[in-house]
Amino acid sequence: MKSVCRWFSNLQITTKLRLVIWLITLTALVFTGALLITNTRVALRHIVVERLTTQADIIAANSTAALSFQDRNAAYETLSALSVDNGVIAAVILDAHGELFAVYPEGKERLDKFATLQSSDHVFTPSELFIKRPILFYGEMIGFVGIEYSRKQMTRELWLSSGIIVLFLVGAAFSAFLITALLQRGITRPIQELAALADRVAKKQDYSIRATWLSKDEIGTLAKHFNKMLGQIQTRDKRLEAYNRHLEEMVTRRTEQLEDLNRQLEHKAQHDVLTQLPNRALFEDRLQHAIVRAERNQEKVALLFVDLDHFKRINDAYGHEAGDQVLLQVARTLENCVRSEDTVARFAGDEFILLLSGLNFMIDVNVVAAKIALEMSKPIEYKSTPLNISASIGVAVYPDDAANAELLLKAADVAMYHAKNQGRNRYQFYSSEMNIKIGERKNLETELLRAIEENQLLLLYQPVMDLRTGAIDSLESLLRWQHPRLGLLPPAKFLPYAEESGLISKIDHWMLSNVCVQAKAWEKQGSPIHVRVNLAMRDFLRKEFFDLFFDLLQKNALSAERISVEIKEHVLMDETPLTVELLQMLRKSCIQLSVDDFGTGYSSLYALQHCPVDFVKIDGTYINEIHDNEENDMMIRAIVAMAHSLNLTVIAESVESYPQLAYLKQLDCELAQGYLFYKPMPREQVEKLIL
């Protein structure tokens, strides 16, 4: 040992550094390789067990029908899917008594090796792995699936993984050797450079020379102090010159900063902070100038008032950060739709306005409006999530629609509201008749507020039938407005106005309160029937709604199992963290959830799997077109099959004929409602059926 130490101490510092680094690296790589190979062996066993268990569960699910109907050929075909796995030796399907039902490959008897295994068990032997999984049919065990797997395949995979690890470690060792050669140069070279630098300064008396190797180790500290010494000598002669130059630079810099600050203040006073578009003040100034030029040159000026449709839903579902990103993208899109001499301004909130000046033909305005409507209907990406948004656009033209800037703005605003009333996602040119319709709309909103206060709203109930027993399963609450002048109005006649005016929250509160009171009254009368409530999406995506819901249940001493909530399919398609969190709150409180109008929004299978949904209601348009075309029937069958595979109950709405009923029963649809059974009816008629 002493001779080795003596030999090591006599080596050059470069060789010493290389030896130390190589020994440490090789030791670390050996231990790392041993740990990786051991971990790979354990992980490989776990992966094989998980893979075979998954395959067994899939075969079990696919073998339910074959085992129920004693179809051995179908069972064998299911087992033969394992032929793609080279490690599978054999697989069997056993019935509930442990008798052999099917075996793969044919002719092999493997019953004795699986008889002793427990259900949902796996066992390793020196040469094989055995997996046994139950076959369930509506929760009842009707048989077992067993798979025998060769450990030789696992051994080959282990050798392959170990070989890759060894190759990786060899490459790492080689890289370490290369890095060692570079690292040792980083230690010895600065010492040599510093010695050469000191010799050059001593010979040339040049104090402007500096050491360039300024690391943080002892060598770097030495170089820094050396440079500091040289700098102090040189600084004495140049201090005054440097000070004067510094003062000049400070004056110049401060002057530039003041000028830049003035420009920024002027820009902020005339532009929107978020989008950097002209604000309302700057826009109105440009509009006044555009009208003056148009009057002088006998030209036209067009205003396009753009309001985003349902923008509040994006803020509620994804947060204000998402809303800001949407506004930024909309601003850039609008700028790309017009000429450089036109003006795009953010008017307020989610409202934008465009000024097109110097126009001679109305066709130019049509082209721009159509282009904006098309571009605004395209999804906007936010964190890899497409956000669907559209815009309602009102168009007014000077001097055709107004004689001054103020009236032109009002005309464009009226046209925009008319576009919203026509279904949104469109553009509308102003006409004088629109003022009359806007007045009627405002009157209807006023009457709707009075209807809530004077209790003109009423609830009807439509029974939901159990197709398996023929009995009434539950009731769906349906909202109506008993208008004193127009008669009984359905929701489609007044709910859109309620959503725009913000009255929808009060209506949902009224509806939910009355349903809870009525459900409790029926419960006290000995009929604890289930009531389904269809609520607006705006309230459903707010936590305040859930607090109100639970307060009403507690106030009426009503069990959460008596009420279920129906939501539209597009709520599931959002799949935002807030939506999932609120749905989970429903599930924890035992409140059931139905997806209404299913099939119109193409919900993803992932959303149905991960959201706590209990019922799927097939949209009535599919039911009305049963047997009209093959694609419609295929869609109905697919919805029912998908729902049943996820253990969801299917409700068919708008059932109006016996052929429709027979078709739904054939598909094992559990629940249905429609005029074939009962029309929506008031409370008194319902009580004759359920009490």
The pLDDT tens digits of the residues spanning 465-513 come to 999 999 999 999 999 988 888 888 888 777 777 776 677 888 888 888 9
Of 128 and 653, the structure prediction assigns the larger pLDDT to 653
Q: Which candidate, 38, 50, 112, 104, places its Cα nearest to that of 77?
A: 104
HEC-encoded secondary structure of 361-407: CHHHHHHHHHHHHHHHCCCEEECCEEECCCEEEEEEEECCCCCCHHH
Contacts of 648 (CB under 8 A, 6+ apart): 608, 613, 614, 615, 616
Burial (0-12, 13-18, 19+ Cβ within 10 Å), 600: middle
pLDDT at site 602 = 47
Maximum distance among all alpha carbons in the chain? 117
Helix (H) or strand (E) holding 671: strand 671-672
Whole-number Cα distances in Å, 47 to 33, 37, 42, 134, 517: 20, 15, 9, 20, 55
The pLDDT tens digits of the residues spanning 129-157 come to 788 888 887 778 888 888 888 877 777 77
Residue 656 pLDDT grade (very low, low, confident, very high; cuts 50, 70, 90)? very high
The pLDDT tens digits of the residues spanning 13-56 come to 667 666 777 777 778 777 887 787 777 777 777 888 788 888 88
C-alpha 552 chain-centroid distance: 31
Whether pLDDT at 117 is above 70: no
The pLDDT tens digits of the residues spanning 519-565 come to 999 999 988 899 999 876 555 656 677 778 888 888 998 888 888 88
The pLDDT tens digits of the residues spanning 433-470 come to 766 556 556 667 778 888 888 888 899 999 999 999 99
Tokens of residue 341, six digits: 């001499």
Of 8-12, 326-330, 644-648, the range with the lowest mean pLDDT is 8-12
Judge whether 120 and 178 are in contact, CB under 8 Å. Answer: no
Judge whether 464 and 470 are in contact, CB under 8 Å. Answer: no
The pLDDT tens digits of the residues spanning 68-92 come to 788 888 888 888 877 777 778 888 8
Whole-number Cα distances in Å, 16 to 181, 578, 613: 12, 61, 69
Whole-number Å distance between alpha carbons of 347 and 646: 48
Q: What is the CA radius of gyration of the chain?
A: 39
Q: What DSSP line would sit under 84-103, residue for residue?
A: G-TTEEEEEEEETTS-EEEE
pTM of the model: 0.47
Domains and CATH numbers, the chain: 14-158 (3.30.450.20), 207-262 (no CATH), 280-432 (3.30.70.270), 445-690 (3.20.20.450)
